[in-house]
Amino acid sequence: MWVTKYTAEEPYAICKHSDCEHLFSHDGNTTSSNIIAHLRRNHKGDFELFQNKLRNMQPQITDFKGVISTNCKPFAFRKELLHFMSVNELKITLLNFFIETIIQFSTAEAPAYKKLLYSAYVRNGDYIRSRKGLVNLMIKYDEEFNHQMRDVLATSFN
């Protein structure tokens, strides 16, 4: 590289061009962007070499074997996962509410919780009535999601 960095406070870096030897300090911007700007303004030939090297070092995603093109369709959801999510939509919403707000699962057994859902015209079978029900739903949701991930990973790698 054309710049030497020092661990001491001053100077931060020195340009290696003998006719330049510009000193970079911690006073201004201590990132490499000011060094690159100096290279672009004062040493155009070296800047072009730097840019070319940078372009050659950065591979494109299509350069990797086995990578599916970004133009192809996304992975399909498993029918079992879609069915599980549609049948349990309210239950999953309630589970997410318990998890996101860090509410104790025992709240599902509280009379006020049941009254709240009843007043919202939720039928008895549509919501979770116990902490065991929340845990069982979480386990089943995890299983379905893991099956989905296994299928996706199996089709995405050679």
Q: Domain locations in the chain?
A: 3-58, 79-156
Tell me what the mean pLDDT of segment 147-156 comes to: 85
What pLDDT is attached to residue 12? 62
Instruction: Provide the residue type at 47 as one letter.
Output: F
Indicate whether 142 pLDDT > 90.
yes
Give the pLDDT band (50/70/90) at residue 135.
very high
Residues 6+ apart with CB under 8 A from 94: 108, 127, 128, 134
Residue 19: per-residue pLDDT = 81
In the predicted structure, residue 43 carries a pLDDT above the cut 60: yes
85 Cβ partners below 8 Å, 6+ apart?
92, 144
Burial class of residue 69 (count of CB atoms within 10 Å of its CB; 0-12, 13-18, 19+):
exposed
- Residue 130: both structure tokens together: 């116990």
Average pLDDT, the chain: 79
pTM: predicted TM-score of the whole model, two decimal places: 0.49
Return d(Cα 4, Cα 118) in angstroms, integer: 71
pLDDT at 59 over 90: no
Sheet containing 13-15: order of strands: 3-5, 13-15, 23-24
